[in-house]
Chains A and B, each alone.
Chain A
Amino acid sequence: MSSHTRPAPTPSHTVGPFYGYALPFPGGPDAAPHAHPDTVTVHGRVLDGAGAPVPDALLEFWGPDAEGRLPRRGGSLRRDPVTGGFLGRNGVDFTGFTRVATDADGHWAIRTLRPGARDGRAPYLSVCVFARGLTHHLFTRVYVPDASGSGAEADPLLAALPAERRATLLATPEPHATYRFDLRLQGPDETVFLEFS
Chain B
Amino acid sequence: MTETTRTVPEQARPADELTQADIDRQMAREREAYEKRLAEGAEPSHHPRREYAPYRSSALRHPTQPPVVIDTRLDPEAVELSSPAFGETDVTELDSDLTRQHQGEPLGERITVSGRLLDREGRPVRGQLIELWQANASGRYAHQRDQHPAPLDPHFTGVGRVLTGDDGSYRFTTIKPGAYPWRNHTNAWRPAHIHFSLFGSAFTQRLVTQMYFPGDPLFAYDPILQSVTDEAARARLVAAYDHDLSRPEWSLGYHWDIVLDGPAATWIEEGR
A residues apposed to B, CB below 8 Å: 1-2, 4-23, 48-50, 52, 54, 60, 62-64, 70-81, 84, 87, 95-97, 115, 118-119, 121, 124-126, 128, 130-139, 156-157, 160-161, 165, 185-187, 190-197
CA distance A72 to B259 in the complex (A): 22
0/1 interface trace, chain B 79-108, chain A, CB 8 Å (1 if under):
110111111111111110000010000000
Q: Does B11 contact A (CB under 8 A)?
A: no
CA distance A121 to B237 in the complex (A): 39
Question: Nearest Cβ in chain B — how far from A107, in angstroms?
Answer: 17
B residues apposed to A, CB below 8 Å: 46-50, 52, 55, 57-65, 67-72, 74-80, 82-95, 101, 118, 120-122, 131-133, 135, 141-143, 145-146, 157-159, 195, 197, 203-204, 206-210, 224-225, 227-228, 230, 232-234, 236-237, 257-263, 271
Contact B208–A12 (Cβ < 8 Å) = yes
Question: Nearest Cβ in chain B — how far from A45, in angstroms?
Answer: 14
| A interface: dominant SS | loop
CA distance A187 to B59 in the complex (A): 12
**Which A residues touch B236, using CB under 8 A?**
8, 10-11
Besides A9-B259, A135-B48, A186-B61, 10 more A-B contacts (Cβ < 8 Å) are A10-B261, A13-B237, A14-B224, A74-B86, A119-B77, A133-B61, A135-B50, A194-B67, A197-B72, A197-B263
CB pairs A–B below 8 angstroms (18 shown): A12-B208, A13-B225, A13-B237, A14-B208, A15-B197, A17-B145, A21-B143, A49-B59, A49-B64, A73-B85, A79-B92, A79-B95, A128-B203, A133-B61, A135-B58, A136-B50, A139-B80, A197-B263
| B interface: dominant SS | loop
Contact B259–A79 (Cβ < 8 Å) = no
Residue of B nearest to A131 (CB): B61
Residue of A nearest to B133 (CB): A22
A18-B48 in contact given A8-B236, A139-B80 (Cβ < 8 Å): no
**Which A residues touch B63, using CB under 8 A?**
138, 185-186, 190-191, 193
Question: Nearest Cβ in chain B — how far from A173, in angstroms?
Answer: 21
Residue of B nearest to A64 (CB): B79
Question: Nearest Cβ in chain B — how far from A197, in angstroms?
Answer: 5
A20-B143 in contact given A6-B120, A6-B121 (Cβ < 8 Å): yes
**Which B residues touch A119, using CB under 8 A?**
75-77
